[in-house]
A = this chain, B = another copy of it.
Amino acid sequence: MTAPLHEAHPSSPGRRLPDTQQGMRRRNLARVMHTVSAEGPLSRATVASRIGLTRAAVSTLVDELIRSGLLEELGPERPGRVGRPGSALTVSGRGPAGIGAEIGIDHLAVCAVDLRGVVRARAVRHCTNRGRAPQPVLGELTALVEQVVAEAALEGLWPTGLAVAVPGLVARDARTVVRAPNLDWHDIDLGALLPAELPLTVDNEANFGSLAELWLGDETPLDFLHVSAEIGIGGAVVVDGRLLRGTRGFAGELGHVPVRPEGPECACGGRGCLEQYAGEEAVLRAAGLTPGEDRVGLLAERAAQGDKDVLRALQGAGTALGVALTGAVNLLDPQTVVLGGALAALAPWLLPTLERELARRTAGAACAVAVSRLGSEGPLLGAAHSVVRAVLDDPAAVTGRM
């Protein structure tokens, strides 16, 4: 029996709770949390009508969530109205928090997000991680995590988990970086190198970026293909509001879809992969520029100045993206393609050729292309929010700690 592939991520919505009375109670706690989180402040009566339970049943659930510090009462609402006043419920701004972290090629970042989804603490460190051994990198990351946790604690927040975004392929154990070519890491168990006291989830940056888009984006549909870039090209497939992970956890590798079968050799062993045409380094090379630290900033600046070589290179990248996305759209039939990460900043110059290519190859049935508002903030936010969502999805798992 294969492990279910399309299961929710350990820290993402939809994880299955057992089909028992106890499981039903836990699911109902989650329904209350999600309802108040999405629509609050709400009275107990409104929550009851939203989720189709009796007022009495909801009150029991709400009392448990208040005792555990996950919900707060704002006091009597609309005191002028007839009848016993309800007290409006809201998600607590103290208590559980999610810690997100990102290992980038040129930086490390950590943040704490409360149950309301507000970033409450943040730390960033610029450093060149390419080719660096995992130990010192994760040592620095641990120091940043400790700093953010300490800051959050001053505001009454305690971390329920740590989620780390990495620029590489992560095994389905959600701990092991199988391959991160731009860091030159192979088969590294991050669990062994990070604080043991926090439940850990490691995932590909494109995956976390797509989850951020799903949870925080403006009207992001439940079905989309997320394309991002940092050196390489990252991709993530969201179907029915959940990440498609693949057998080994490697799904979404749009960067290695062949665009021209006999094109340039790629580090993956293939030829003519999308990354060889639309990756940051490929675009810089095509424009005759030398890769430095702020690669995207340089490209955007030159493109805005009308640099013909840069514009031509970005047009070529857009065309290659259009060809690869044609294949992806035919296979997945998503509602939208979202350009995220570094691609969001370059979208003005990529979109014309990308959209033309996609439209002419998919006969008018082309998929809409949207640009992420989160841009390169996506992976870090997605990581932190994945921890928060896990609390909303199963509040009972943390209420015991209070």
Q: Say yes or no: B258 contacts A327, CB within 8 Å.
A: yes
Q: Say yes or no: B261 contacts A259, CB within 8 Å.
A: yes
Segment at the interface with B among A69-77, A109-117, A285-293, A357-365:
A357-365
Residue contacts A-B, CB under 8 angstroms, 10 given: A4-B240, A19-B24, A248-B365, A251-B331, A255-B330, A256-B362, A258-B326, A269-B362, A271-B361, A327-B327
User: Does A56 make an interface contact (CB < 8 A)?
Assistant: no
- Min distance, Cβ A266 to any Cβ of chain B, angstroms: 9
User: Does A309 make an interface contact (CB < 8 A)?
Assistant: no
Q: Say yes or no: B19 contacts A222, CB within 8 Å.
A: no
- Min distance, Cβ A181 to any Cβ of chain B, angstroms: 11
Q: Say yes or no: A335 contacts B269, CB within 8 Å.
A: no
Nearest B residue to A18 by beta-carbon distance? Answer: B52
Additional A-B contact list (8), CB under 8 Å, known A6-B240, A237-B332: A5-B223, A6-B6, A19-B27, A248-B365, A251-B331, A254-B330, A269-B363, A327-B328
Q: Say yes or no: A237 contacts B331, CB within 8 Å.
A: yes
Q: Say yes or no: B223 contacts A247, CB within 8 Å.
A: yes
Q: Map CB proximity to B onto A229-252 as digits: 1 under 8 Å, 0 otherwise.
A: 000000101011110111111111
- Residue among A223, A235, A364 with most chain B CB within 10 A: A223
Residues of B within 8 A of A342 (CB): none
A2 and B247 in contact (CB under 8 A), knowing A323-B261, A364-B269?
no
Q: Say yes or no: A257 contacts B330, CB within 8 Å.
A: yes
User: Does A270 make an interface contact (CB < 8 A)?
Assistant: yes
User: Does A333 make an interface contact (CB < 8 A)?
Assistant: yes
- List which A73-92 residues lie within 8 A (CB) of chain B: none
By Cβ-Cβ distance, the 7 closest A-B pairs, closest first, are A246-B333, A269-B363, A6-B240, A270-B361, A257-B327, A253-B330, A251-B333
User: Does A36 make an interface contact (CB < 8 A)?
Assistant: no
Q: Say yes or no: A334 contacts B246, CB within 8 Å.
A: yes
Q: Say yes or no: A260 contacts B261, CB within 8 Å.
A: yes
Copies in the complex: 2
Nearest B residue to A249 by beta-carbon distance? Answer: B333
| Bound CA span A362–B365, Å | 30
User: Does A64 make an interface contact (CB < 8 A)?
Assistant: no
Q: Say yes or no: B268 contacts A331, CB within 8 Å.
A: no
Residues of B within 8 A of A268 (CB): 361-363
Q: Using a CB–CB distance below 8 Å, which chain A residues touch chain B?
A: 1-2, 4-7, 19, 24, 27, 221-223, 235, 237, 239-242, 244-261, 268-271, 323-324, 326-328, 330-335, 360-365
Q: Say yes or no: A333 contacts B245, CB within 8 Å.
A: yes
| Bound CA span A251–B331, Å | 5
Residues of B within 8 A of A323 (CB): 258, 261
| Bound CA span A242–B362, Å | 26
| Bound CA span A222–B328, Å | 21
| Bound CA span A223–B4, Å | 8
Q: Say yes or no: B270 contacts A240, CB within 8 Å.
A: no
Nearest B residue to A336 by beta-carbon distance? Answer: B247
- Residue among A235, A245, A250, A332 with most chain B CB within 10 A: A332
- Min distance, Cβ A330 to any Cβ of chain B, angstroms: 4
| Bound CA span A240–B245, Å | 10
Q: Say yes or no: A222 contacts B4, CB within 8 Å.
A: yes
| Bound CA span A4–B326, Å | 23
- Min distance, Cβ A150 to any Cβ of chain B, angstroms: 39
| Bound CA span A361–B258, Å | 9
Q: Say yes or no: A6 contacts B239, CB within 8 Å.
A: yes
Q: Say yes or no: A335 contacts B270, CB within 8 Å.
A: no
A270 and B334 in contact (CB under 8 A), knowing A5-B222, A24-B19?
no
Residues of B within 8 A of A5 (CB): 222-223, 239-240
